[in-house]
Structure 1
Amino acid sequence: MNINLHFDCLSGISGDMTLGALIDLGVDPDLIRTGLASLNVADLKLHVDDVKKCGFRATHIRVEHPEQKAHRHLHHIEAMIDAADAISDGAKTLARRIFQCIGEAEAKVHGCDLRKVHFHEVGAVDSIADIVGVAIAIDALGIDSVTSSAIPTGTGSITIDHGRVAVPAPATVEILTGVPLAYCEIESELTTPTGAAIIKTLASSFGPAPAMTPHRVGYGAGTRDLPGQANVLRVTMGQLPEAASDPGQIETDRVTLLETNIDDATAEQLADVTERLMRAGALDVWQTPCVMKKGRLASVVSVLCGGSKAATMQSILFQHTSTIGIRRQILERAKLARQAVEIETAYGPAQGKVVTLPDGEKRFSLEDDEAKRLSRSSGKSTAEMQREAVLAWSQQQPE
């Protein structure tokens, strides 16, 4: 049986929302309290309450402790965790990984050595309690994998120890590099550095919920009330089907699709713009014949790219075609996990990629440029080179 947790972060994610959702899933609050007490923070209390957000019940977490002004370094927090005798080794390891994630982001944002990073807001006792509490809860649940929706960060600005900054805060956006973000116009900090580090550390993939049989659902409440939606984090615990027992084999991301209709370009001109788009970083470019108004024959030029490349692709289309309008869509994409490999062939080393299918089977393909290179040196066709490379790869696999 493979148990997965899926985080639905419609209203963002924070440490207290995560801990509340995990307790709502069934983790004993007293287990968390016992672990937190062993951190030896004086008068630390964990309050667990049922609340309603926009009419929906959820678990709200509040950490009570005397006010503290101290700014901690990473090694101070790690020492607290290591000395806690009521926390399992697995939970300690996870808590340290989450704090390491935050520390590396803070070090980059502030341009300093990791050992010299001051944990300001995240070094506060309530954030330490949230992170350590989440680590204890995850360890107690004994889950096998974690997936998550795309992450909304909110908009606007907030005030932190370093002054007023745009949302998401600098550390949050640094932590979330490589993580798909969800569009959101709500003027509030929906995702905190603590929440970002928790989900970045836990989740193996981001996107729609995987196919699974739900067992339990937990809801963790944020403190603020949001306009038009419940400020809650939903975490679903369920069993993955056997064929999807490793969700890391199927990765998800978000891409941009640009499309425009061209009715006055030659094939050579379209080939030129395709080459320019690919050189600039497009994931793929293709053309589809179409019939426009008044019976005009045309081609739909489609460009698939990462969101950060969309403006560049758009500029190339406007500059090197006659288009006066470009359609844009944001798409969720599922793709097989892949790995670049080098194999030995009868004609020398060659580069290819290996993808892992949902059932765990692996498949190799030779890169097209490599097939052409080997074809030129061997005198054989590219198709023959592909077949020989697949055979060479299969023979080089361990039994």
Structure 2
Amino acid sequence: MTVAYFDCFSGISGDMALGALIDLGLSVDELMDILETLGLEEFQLESRDVMSYGLRATKINVTAPENVLVRTFNSINDLIENSELPEMVKTTSLDIFMLIARAESLIHHKPIDQVHFHEVGAVDSIVDIVGTAYGVHALGINEVFSSPLPLGHGMIKTLHGSIPVPAPAVLEILGDTPTYGCGIPTEIVTPTGAAIVKTLAFEFGTMPPMTLSKTGYGAGTKDLGVPNLLRIITGEPLGFPVEQEQLAYVISTNIDDMNPEFYDYVMERLFNAGAHDVWLTPIQMKKTRPGTVINILCSPADVAALKRILIEETSTFGLRTSVVMKKAIEREAVEVETPWGTVSVKVGRESGRVTSVSPEFSDCARIAGEQGVPIKEVFRKAQALAQEQLD
């Protein structure tokens, strides 16, 4: 079994995906033979080595005569169904086009069969999509994983006029997909690239455990100031579970001039606004002044609201934001009856195995105060009872 990891550190487009697969060993002649069965207008597919900031990669170019033909999903469906593509490649290709069609249908308020593919219906985009679907099949890739996707910003020109980045179609296609803003002022995830990786990828996150085999690099067109490449890493999966991780953000700010009594209130507001965790770190700042770092772990959707609370409620003059991968083990709450009262206990599990049994401090403290029992005794008894219950 072969798995592939799409490392989209500079985004993804159709030509980058196809270029990376050719770099992995997909034969251009074999690809041309199968693409000719689509019955497209005459086109040429060129593959060449390029350098991007010191890294070698494969750049593909598809050239075809200019054509005013505007295709719909139905016309593309007919092209693919009437071709000699393997059935699995037909299915994957149509799934990619359907994802784009649904996005365009929502954006333009049209039924899917009335959506016109402009850029995506051009010969080069059809070659990119069908070629990528065929490449994954021909290289024997059984499962695809992907990194979270970086998104640029700004405006780009299309046949509909100037539109914001990320393009509306990209946002529709990537619903429920881990993404993050990378600060690059242009489009680096195209609708075609978004649909390809969304369709192919079984999961988004860190690279799964694998024995590495080959790496292919596909080059984009723009100069981003960094290597504009898609890296596809292939290998054989290892026989232990894939780490279940999620994209998260850490927001931090240094404070050295705020009333320390405010911290408890600020932390409560942050938790109520969706923070996964909030912690304070003592530091020494300039002029040897004692200070405190407020750190927040949160999901991408809550970043803006939590930043606003920090700015409103603290004396900060600036914030830092970083992207991290978060792993959280399974957890549940159970209740145990101690000789002095009921205690809630948090139970953590990893792959079904109990790894943590932790009585709630507030319950233990309340019972200890009410019953005149040392808190450590209440804690130990609740923990032991919970362990017995789980066994």
User: Which category of TM-score, normalised to the shorter sequence, fits these structures?
Assistant: 0.7 to 0.9
Percent of aligned pairs with the same amino acid: 38
Letter aligned with residue 251 of structure 2 = L
Q: Secondary structure at the match of 1:315?
A: helix
Partner of 1:275: 268
Partner of 1:94: 92
Equivalent-residue separation in structure 2 for 1:83 and 1:341 (angstroms)? 53
How big is the alpha-carbon RMSD for the aligned residues of Structure 1 and Structure 2? 4.0
Asked if the contact 2:310–2:316 (Cα under 8 Å) also holds between the matched residues in 1, the reply is no
CA distance in 1, matches of 2:384, 2:211: 44
Kept in 2: contact 1:172–1:196 (CA 8 A): yes
Please give the secondary structure, in 1, of the residue aligned with 2:11. Answer: coil
> What amino acid maps onto 1:35 in structure 2?
I
Work out the CA distance in 2 between the residues paired with 1:53 and 1:361: 46
> Which amino acid in 2 is paired with 1:43?
E
Q: Which runs of 5+ in 2 are unaligned?
A: 335-345, 364-377
What CA distance in whole angstroms lies between the structure 1 residues aligned with 2:160 and 2:52? 31
Q: Give the Cα separation in 2 of the matches to 1:143 and 1:386.
A: 49
TM-score with structure 2 setting the length: 0.77
| Contact 2:255–2:316 (CA under 8 A) maintained in structure 1 | no
- Give distance in 2, aligned partners of 1:315 and 1:220: 40
Of 17-26 and 309-318, deviating more is 309-318
For residue 218 of structure 1, what is the amino acid of its counterpart?
G
Task: Output the amino acid matched with 1:253.
Answer: L
Partner of 1:9: 8
Q: Could you say which residue in structure 1 is the equivalent of 2:120?
A: 122
Residue 302 (structure 2) pairs with residue 309 (structure 1): yes
Note closer, same or farther for the CA distance 1:154–1:313 as it changes in structure 2 (3 Å cut): closer
- Residue 338 of structure 2 is matched in structure 1 by none
Partner residue, 2:22: 23
> 1:377 matched to which residue of 2?
none
- The 8 Å contact of residues 286 and 303 in structure 1, kept in 2 or not, is answered as yes
Q: Residues 71-111 of structure 1, C-alpha deviation per residue, up to 9 Å, x if partnerless?
A: 22223222322222x21222122112211221222222223
CA drift at 1:55:
5.3
1:189 alignment partner, SS class:
coil
Separation (CA, whole Å) in 2 of partners of 1:29 and 1:329: 43
Q: Could you tell me whether the CA contact under 8 Å between 1:207 and 1:332 is conserved in 2? A: no
Which whole-Å CA distance do the structure 2 matches of 1:386 and 1:67 have between them?
76
- Aligned residue in 2 for 1:319: 312
What secondary structure, in the 3-state scheme, does the structure 2 residue paired with 1:38 have?
A: helix
Give, as a single letter, the amino acid of the residue that structure 1 aligns with 2:10.
S
Change beyond 3 A, Cα 1:251–1:203: farther
Structure 1: how far apart are the matches of 2:170 and 2:388? 44
Q: Could you give the per-residue CA deviations for residues 307-338 of structure 1, whole angstroms, max 9, x where no partner exists? A: 443332232233334x2335423132132586
Deviation at 1:182, TM superposition (A): 4.9
Structure 1 gap ranges (5+): 344-351, 373-379, 395-399
Asked if structure 1 preserves the Cα contact closer than 8 Å seen for 2:256 and 2:289, the reply is: no
Distance 2:259 2:244 in 1: 39
Structure-2 change in CA distance of 1:303 and 1:115 (3 Å): same
Select 2:321's aligned residue among 329, 338, 349.
329
Contact 1:107 1:117 in 2 (8 A): yes
Q: Give deviations 1:323-380, integer Å, cap 9, x for gaps.
A: 2335423132132586x9999xxxxxxxx9997x4xx5466999x99xx9xxxxxxx9
TM-score in terms of structure 1 length: 0.75
Judging changes above 3 Å, is the alpha-carbon distance between structure 1 residues 341 and 19 closer, same or farther for their aligned structure 2 residues?
farther
Are 1:290 and 1:300, in contact at CA under 8 Å, matched by a contact in 2? yes
Q: What pairs with 1:1-399 in structure 2 (closer than 5 Å)?
A: 2-54=1-53, 56-84=55-83, 86-177=84-175, 178-185=177-184, 187-222=185-220, 224-226=221-223, 228-244=225-241, 247=242, 249-261=243-255, 265=259, 269-288=262-281, 300-321=293-314, 323-336=315-328, 357=350, 361=352, 387=386, 391=390
Aligned equivalents of 1:193, 1:209: Cα separation in 2:
23
**Tell me, what secondary structure is at the counterpart of 1:242?**
coil
Shift of 1:25: 0.5
- Counterpart residue type for residue 217 of structure 2: Y
